[in-house]
Structure 1
Amino acid sequence: MIPELLQSQKSYFKTEETKNVAFRKKSLKQLKAELVNQESKIIEALAKDFNKPAFETVLTETSVVLSELDHMIKNLEKWSKPKWVLPSLINFPSTDILYSEPYGQTLIIAPWNYPYQLAMAPLIAAIAAGNTAILKPSELTPHTSALLKQIISHVFKPEHVTVVEGGVDVSTTLLKQRWDYIFFTGSVNVGKIVAKAAAKNLTPVTLELGGKNPCIIDQTANINLTAKRIVWGKFLNAGQTCIAPDYILIHDSIKASFYKAIKIEIENAYSKNPENSKDFCRIVNTKNFKRLTKMLENENCIVGGDINEKSLYISPTVIDEPNLDSEVMKDEIFGPILPVISFKDKTKIETIITSYNKPLSLYIFTTQTNAAKKLIEKFSFGGGCINDTVVHFANHRLPFGGVGNSGIGAYHGKLSFDTFSHKKPVVNKGNWLDLPLRYAPYNGKLNKIKSLLKWL
């Protein structure tokens, strides 16, 4: 089935209908109309999958997708036009032009943590750039996956865009095919599998992965506001966010004050019993629940630590001074557990952060501009914030992506369009002048070409 589906998309792409900008724009407008009509069902699907609050769904899923759609529709004609580029003097006389052309057949593999937004955002870009696309949603969020299939089948012909549902076996079959571009969002381990499969056919990829995102709090930080913003960024989506703060590095002199403040902010957000809060998500499945609860074993929970396997509930939890070789500090947490490690000497910050692979995000809370600047320049990471968390994701003018182990490539806004477009340079050389210097025989020309090249 999958090879035949891909072949039908290849045949359709050859008709060049997807290269027509008016057709692309019309497709995006039809998609937007359908998504607006289905918003209540999208909210319902995410609530069924892991108890996601409607507010969080609108804030982090549906509004992001509609904003991306509007941005693409508004700018598509401008972005698609060939761009004149300043020509090189060595090619005089010439006109240099950069064309944006679609790659062709694209595969998008979406994760479960933001199963709607992280499926639709890259898909919108693939369509806008003129590609065909097969979208593989996560099987761990079946209600959202089924709804995505319904939405896409209502708007697009399968030879243009289609959704393929299923588990690991389906993903494996998809990765065995030859694609022109693959866009994957998910774990580092699966990202390596995707990269290996793509490498067999030299297929370009975007890998949006994760990592242990540090959050540094120095002694000058506004403690109450810091705690409030960390609680929001960490426990949003029950911590199942690739850019959530993974662990805190805090100056020893303010740790006690921070603990008081964060306990208050957790209660303000989710009440004294977060299990009864309508604003707190659940863990996506039993496997992840057990992985997370293992991290709580033998740890000193300053806040939280409550679990309920039946409802897949883990309370917002703060752990005091875990060992660096403990379970909670080994890998990305991806759940509502926040380890806190204190420091007196800033060399400890560097020792800990550099002991892990380059993270997707880094956060700094301080009122010292120079201190923040030094830390930003010292460490390599995908993106981040000073005196806030997560919100760098919201600006479509900023690229979003990892570095090293946390990802390859970036997207958002125009960069999303560029990600799914090959930039094809063309030099249109004039015929009215043809300097003989470049042509063989080269005898006696070496010093002349050296002198000329110095001025270019």
Structure 2
Amino acid sequence: MSCEEGKGLVKDSRSDPTLGMDPFEDTLRRLREAFSSGLTRPAEFRAAQLKALGSFLQDNRELLHQALAQDLGKSVAESEMSEIITTKGEIDWALRYLRSWMKDEKVSKNLATQLDSAFIRKEPFGLVLIIAPWNYPLNLTLVPLVGALAAGNCVVLKPSEISQSSEKVLAEVLPRYLDQSCFAVVLGGPEETGRLLEHKFDYIFFTGSPRVGKIVMTAASKHLTPVTLELGGKNPCYVDDDCDPQTVANRVAFFRYFNAGQTCVAPDYVLCSPETQERLLPALQNAITRFYGEDPRSSPDLGRIINEKHFQRLRGLLGCGRVAIGGQSDESERYIAPTVLVDVQDAEPVMQEEIFGPILPIMNVRGLDEAIDVINRREKPLALYAFSNSSQVVKQALARTSSGIFGGNKGFFHVTLPTMPLGGVGHSGMGGYHGKFSFDTFSHHRSCLLSCAGLEKLNDITYPPYPNWKQKVINYILSPPSCTIL
């Protein structure tokens, strides 16, 4: 499909020199004109776009399964669970509550504004840019898109060029379902993304690494463009001595090795005592064998590393500490076995970078206090997990640390809840999304106060001069309401 055949697609300028100096200018102008026309504002239009997005998922289910298998070795079950069902759930949730989200929100008033109408109106920002990653190429591309469409924006979608098969489907098929006057897919790599970021957008939503997040934020600052940054980090997982090791192993192994460990909210390392480590290791081996069989390489449920570059990086990390479980790799398949490392030191590379693969290092601590010290010395993580039979231990871990999200005795499934925001804090990002949080992220909350053109006498009290009696009255009528007055 060329730019002429489908307005919703801008070709990769690396392979098309005919696009000239700026391949994005015409597309961005077209989208801005569509937004200025008011096309995206009615609830009916937004709902139609969301329904069309749902149809894209339903009509192309098999094609999407194939693309995800080619990119990441995902099984159909894993693709459904982590990509399609969750995205469809976000669409259905937005359709269910769209009109209520769009309603003006009445607010409490003080005595000075009792005869006025005070409310918050949720308005679309305008032209928004969504830059998506490769590890969940549908979910992390389309779930933000749900929020942007629900909020009434025009959208430029930049899928990752690393997940090539998924990018191809999103570029060639998705634009057929959405109104191409207000939606476009842009292709290309870092160079093209950099050129795209030179343009002014009204909002930028980025999911990726902190390193690239800084680049995006720097580019956005030149235009004072607001951003949401969904970044990553090293997610700690504290395992208390008071726990059932097999239960912990089952849950940790499930969301550490899901998608071959290429998950931003997966536990990145375990903190536990040497005694708990001894009990946890056979339990982890048991969980891995139960999930993936005696030969995990032949399991249909274990994915593969996205590309050669990431495979080589991960294979290098296998030299840290001592391999207690797994450690096998096969370059021809980009396969790395579910692995557990022990005797890991804080200064080793595996503890200095986000792993983003099926490798789980274990560091020993004497207890909760030392674990919290280790966690708090590092940058704030996207996710933090604590496992214990004692609710007090879990509550202490929650109260004495900071993270984007927290899981006590469970993980992973919080990302399936549209009632909770997903987002980081500090080094792991800013802003959140999912459900109404997505709608709010892509909406400007505009404060509105509408007053009668007459009744001027009522305003006289606020005009100078200000004798003492008038100051007392003003102080009274401008005080915040003591109860909700709408």
TM over 0.5: yes
Cα pair 2:421 2:434 within 8 Å, conserved:
yes
CA contact (8 A) 2:124 2:444 kept: yes
The AA in structure 2 aligned to 1:321 is D
Equivalent in the alignment of 1:442: 466
- Aligned-residue RMSD, C-alpha: 1.4
Q: Does the Cα contact within 8 Å between 2:111 and 2:478 map onto a contact in 1?
A: no
Displacement of 1:326: 0.2
Q: Name the CA distance, whole Å, in 2 between partners of 1:251 and 1:416.
A: 40
Pairing 1:110–2:137 present: no
* 1:395 match: 417
Quote the Cα distance in structure 2 between the aligned partners of 1:30 and 1:329: 44
Match of 2:113 in 1: 91
Aligned equivalent of 2:25: 3
- Work out whether 1:414 is the aligned partner of 2:432: no
Q: Are 1:229 and 2:229 matched, yes or no?
A: no
Q: 2:149 aligns with which of 98, 121, 127?
A: 127
8 Å Cα contact 1:10/1:105 also seen in 2: yes
1:455 and 1:291 map into 2 onto residues whose CA distance is 57
Q: For the structure 1 residues 298 and 79, does the alpha-carbon distance in structure 2 shift closer, same or farther, using more than 3 Å as the test?
A: closer
Partner residue, 2:232: 210
Find 1:376's aligned residue among 389, 398, 414. Answer: 398
Query: In the alignment, what sits opposite 2:312?
Result: 290
Query: Which of 354, 378, 386 is the matching residue for 1:364?
Result: 386
Give the superposition deviation at 1:436.
Answer: 2.4
Change (3 A) 1:175 1:315: same
CA separation in 2, counterparts of 1:101 and 1:188?
Answer: 29
- 2:283 aligns to what? 261
The question of whether the paired residues in 1 share the 8 Å contact of 2:321 and 2:345 is answered with no
Contact 1:208 1:408 in 2 (8 A): yes
8 Å contact kept, 2:125–2:202: yes
C-alpha distance in 2, partners of 1:298/1:215?
Answer: 19
Instruction: Choose which of 194, 197, 216 in structure 2 pairs with 1:175.
Output: 197
Cα 1:83–1:451 change in 2 (3 A) is: closer
The corresponding residue for 1:305 is 327
Structure 2 letter corresponding to 1:48: Q
For 1:65 and 1:24, locate their aligned partners in 2 and report how far apart those are by CA, in whole Å. 17
CA distance in 1 between partners of 2:116 and 2:248 (Å):
56
User: How do 1:260-279 residues align onto structure 2 when only pairs under 5 Å count?
Assistant: 260-279=282-301
Letter matched to residue 58 of structure 2? V
- Read off the aligned partner of 2:458 and give its amino acid letter: D
Structure-1-length-normalised TM-score: 0.97
Find 1:153's aligned residue among 175, 188, 213. Answer: 175
Per the alignment, in what secondary structure is the counterpart of residue 434 of structure 1?
helix
| Identity rate, percent | 37
Taking structure 1 as reference, are residues 101 and 256 closer, same or farther at Cα in structure 2, changes over 3 Å only? same
Q: Deviations over 1:157-184 (max 9, x none)?
A: 4331111111111111111110000000
Aligned residue in 2 for 1:80: 102
Task: Tell me, in whole angstroms, the C-alpha distance in 2 between the residues paired with 1:101 and 1:450.
Answer: 33
Letter of the 1:37 partner, please give it: D
**Residues 385 and 391 in structure 1, CA contact (< 8 A), matched pair in contact too:** no
Distance 1:423 1:454, change over 3 A: closer
Which AA in structure 2 matches 1:307?
A: S
Corresponding position of 2:77: 55
From 358, 362, 379, the counterpart of 1:336: 358
Gaps of 5+ in 1: none
User: 2-side partners of 1:246 and 1:455: how far apart?
Assistant: 47
1:239 correspondence with 2:261 = yes
Structure 1 equivalent of residue 35 of structure 2: 13
Cα pair 1:113 1:240 within 8 Å, conserved = yes
Partners of 1:349 and 1:90 in 2: CA distance: 53
For 2:373, the equivalent position in structure 1 comes to 351
User: One-letter code of the match for 1:239?
Assistant: G
Superposed CA deviations along residues 75-114 of structure 1, whole A, max 9, x for unmatched, are 1112112222222223232121211110000000000000
Ranges in structure 2 where 5+ consecutive residues have no aligned partner: 1-22, 482-486
User: 1: CA distance between counterparts of 2:400 and 2:413?
Assistant: 21
Moved more, 378-387 or 336-345: 336-345
d(CA) in 1 for partners of 2:349, 2:338: 18
CA distance in 2 between counterparts of 1:41 and 1:448 reads 69
User: AA paired with 2:83?
Assistant: E
Match of 1:196 among 218, 230, 237: 218
Q: 1 CA distance for matches of 2:99 and 2:473?
A: 45
What is the CA distance between 1:248 and its match in structure 2? 0.2
* SS of 2:193 mapped into structure 1: helix
**What's the secondary structure of 2:458's corresponding residue?**
coil
- In structure 1, the residue matched to 2:340 is 318
Give the distance between the partners of 1:98 and 1:291, measured in 2 at CA. Answer: 49
Q: Does 1:162 align with 2:201?
A: no
